[in-house]
Structure 1
Amino acid sequence: MSVLTPSSQVLQRHEALFSGKHLLVAGDLHDDYVLQLNTADTKVHCSQFHIYSNLQARCKKSHIEFGLLPTESCYENRDTLIYYWPKNKLEAQFQLACLLNNLAKGCDIFIIGENTTGVRSAEKLLSEFGSIQKIDTARRCSLYHFHAESRLAFELDEWWSQYDLQLDDMTLLVSTLPGVFSYKTLDAGSDLLLNALAQQTDLIKGRVLDIGCGCGVLSLFAAKINPAIELISTDVSAPALFATSKNLKDNLINADVIASDVFSNVEGRFDLIISNPPFHDGKETNYNAAETLIRESKNHLKINGKLCIVANSFLPYPKLLAEQFKHVDVIAHTTKFKVYLAS
């Protein structure tokens, strides 16, 4: 985590701007650069659990928190904000609306992001709320300085998106937030996995673990198929965990919803582990989470326990699965996706 992202390298050119400031950092940060700044004090809000864990391990004295949105204590005595623009424009709007609703007037706001993520749309997004100026362009990134002259209104309830999920004779109401996987509709991979499990409902029993639960669709389906299961839903994303908790509650399902970087916070063994594992971290391709899932699953499965995952057909998982499990079957496939069942 010590290697600086291009965004942090651009901020490094302007370190003097943050000297002695009471700094709040939020957004899609992926390194520990902000903890190296010579500020009066620094508070960091993370919506990704693995980033939060890494920052906590490096600097236990700083105020670092994990959650959907910053708590009130994050805003106390802040005069400067650094916001790392995420890959999802709507997620940026969601987070900035909250931040700019809570920060004190007169706060210096710096927005940094890679141009490919759409950070340049910050100019149009914020222009009617104050003065915004681009102060640097380098490393294929843009850095903006913003002074809010009026606050952005923010009501969390207005940011929910909802859709109905129909599977056989089952209808589930799914609520999601910006930045959560399958925000507007169910993705094709999860849909294939759900239909595969619907054909083999005997797999859904005992203790079931949903890794990378997103908005909780797989968890909802598993619990509706067999209400007697002990269900644990995990993700690194705070918005995903928040959405999953709401969906489980709205659909009258009891489960443990846990922040975990794959198995980092998971205890015990399971009869079934299900997942549509991510292969991106920000905009970069990253197989680490999926490879960790495959390699370590057997240590978290009961005897005769099974791992069932869906993945893009081109991803290099069959060889890794075969190295870790005695039996690996493709139980469903399309031209783009395959569902693997390993035991």
Structure 2
Amino acid sequence: MTAETPVCQLLARQDHDYRDWLWVAPPRDAWLESGSGRLLSADHGVLAAWRAQGRPACGPFDAWGEPPGAVLFWPKSHALGEWWLLALCQQLPAGTPLQVVGENNGGVKRALKVLAALGLGCRKRDSARRCTLFETRLGAVSLDPELAWQRFEAAGLTLVSHPGVFGHGKLDDGTRLLLEVLERQPDWAGQRVLDVGCGDGILSAWLASRGAAVRAVDISAFAVEAARRTLAANQQIGEVIGSDVYAALPAEVCFDAIVSNPPFHQERDIDYGPAARLIGEAPARLTAGGSLTLVANAFLPYPALLERAFGGFEILADDRRFRVYRASKG
């Protein structure tokens, strides 16, 4: 099987036995998914793809075992890369071989500073396809990856956030505008509400505090854990599960309302796929008279998607940067 992504093409040309190695936070790539090794990922979409093929896969808060080595695919978020390194040092035996790979314009060379700060020696193994591959060995470090979690106050709530979560450590302006709109609807008590792309769980906690029966989903395991911690920090109840939009939800489950600040980036690339599924499949997930309310950057082409799925929509707020849309099921 030929590698599809530049980082995997670089790895594929290595004279190295990756059998039973741990692939940490990799992209979707058929070369990886049809080869050897085990997956460690926070992306429930990637996890589902591996598991569907019977391949071993685990999330960041699962037990990882003791693989003979690991390859970390350096993420766009420098802070998230630091967390992965700390977690690997904490979870795997000292001396375990580690390779770090990434695109040059994605900041992989910053990994050198992190490794040096952790006291881990490192050398460049190879470079090609505008990517670089480093190698080192894991060692004991004094920093606890738990320190990456942040708590902050916003919208009258205590929020818990992680570097792998959208809007880490702050309230996103689009979400702030969405909350202002939701505040105008006083009858959330008893409503069955689905929060899609829940992030740190601010919408879920806010809705639960007003009596809604909340279920939240996010493709990121970091977001799922953050939302659970946010609900607990505010003494609120809600169910949070890992899901690629609606994929993990039973088909017969419907909601009185769906709320979302949907993502439109996949790493550095624009990706409308999740938002298109959120909108296109929403009518089948709503009760009669139920509504979808979402916030989005004003330039995004969501009106056409809403029109196609619902036959109409309204704009509830527009501050020139963001718009809040609502569409209802007849």
TM-score (norm 2): 0.93
User: Which residue of the partner structure matches residue 17 of structure 2?
Assistant: 18
Alpha-carbon separation, structure 1, partners of 2:268 and 2:152: 26
Residue type at the aligned position of 2:191: G
Letter in 1 for 2:31: Y
1:162-181 matches, cutoff 5 A? 162-166=151-155, 171-181=156-166
Structure 1 partner of 2:51: 56
1:112 maps to what in 2? 101
**Does residue 264 of the first structure (1) align with residue 247 of the second (2)?**
yes
Deviates more, 1:300-309 or 1:180-189: 180-189
- Residue 43 (str. 1) matches residue 38 (str. 2): yes
Secondary structure of 1:261's counterpart equals: coil
Deviation at 1:285, TM superposition (A): 0.8
Matched to 2:24, the amino acid is A
Q: Matches of 1:307 and 1:295 in 2, distance apart? A: 11
CA–CA distance in structure 2, aligned partners of residues 56 and 296 of structure 1: 24
CA distance, structure 2, for counterparts of residue 274 and residue 280 of structure 1: 19
Match of 1:91 among 72, 80, 85: 80
The residue number in structure 1 matching 2:268 is 283
Q: Which residue number in structure 2 is paired with residue 193 of structure 1?
A: 178
Deviation of the 1:9 alpha carbon: 1.1
Deviation (angstroms), 1:46: 1.3
Residue equivalent to 2:199: 214
Q: Deviations over 1:150-186 (max 9, x none)?
A: 42234243221121113xxxx2111111111111210
Q: How far apart, in 1, do the equivalents of 2:101 and 2:90 lie?
A: 19
Letter in 2 for 1:49: H
- Change beyond 3 A, Cα 1:97–1:118: same
Question: Which secondary structure does the structure 2 equivalent of 1:55 belong to?
Answer: helix
Residue of structure 2 equivalent to 1:223: 208
Map Cα deviations across residues 63-99 of structure 1 (whole Å, 9 max, x no partner).
Answer: 2113x3451xx232x2211111111000010111010
Instruction: Identify which range, 296-305 or 26-35, moves more after superposition.
Output: 26-35
Matches of 1:203 and 1:327 in 2, distance apart? 23
Contact 1:205–1:271 (CA under 8 A) maintained in structure 2: no
Paired residue secondary structure (1:18): coil
| Change in 2 beyond 3 A, CA 1:275/1:251 | same
Q: Which residue of 2 aligns with 1:123?
A: 112
CA RMSD of aligned residues (A): 1.9
Q: Aligned letter for 1:90?
A: A
CA contact (8 A) 1:196 1:332 kept: yes
> What is the rounded CA distance, in whole Å, between the counterparts of 1:173 and 1:52 in structure 2?
30
Q: 1:101 aligns with which of 90, 94, 106?
A: 90
1:235 has 2:218 as partner: yes
Counterpart CA distance in 2 for 1:201 and 1:114 is 48
Distance in 1 between residues matched to 2:33 and 2:170, nearest whole Å = 38
Tell me which residue corresponds to 1:319: 304
- The alignment-based identity, stated in percent, is 32
Contact residue 69 and residue 95 of structure 1 kept, 8 A:
no
Does structure 2 conserve the Cα–Cα contact (< 8 Å) formed by 1:177 and 1:239?
A: yes
CA positional deviation for 1:244: 0.4
Whether 2:124 is the aligned partner of 1:141: answer: no
The one-character-per-residue Cα deviations of 1:307-331 (angstroms, maximum 9, x if unpaired) are: 0000111111101101111330000
Equivalences for residues 65-84 of structure 1 within 5 A: 65-66=58-59, 68-71=60-63, 74-76=64-66, 78-84=67-73
Deviations 1:271-306 (A, max 9, x none): 100000000112211000000010000000000000
* Structure 1 SS opposite 2:100: strand
- Quote the offset at 1:44 in angstroms: 1.4
Alpha carbons 1:89, 1:117 under 8 Å: kept: no
Count of aligned positions: 325
The answer (yes or no) to whether the contact 1:79–1:106 under 8 Å persists in 2 is no
CA deviation profile, 1:194-219 (whole Å, cap 9, x unmatched)? 01111223367521000000000111
Q: TM-score, normalised by structure 1?
A: 0.90
Q: Answer whether contact 1:79 1:104 (CA < 8 A) is retained.
A: no
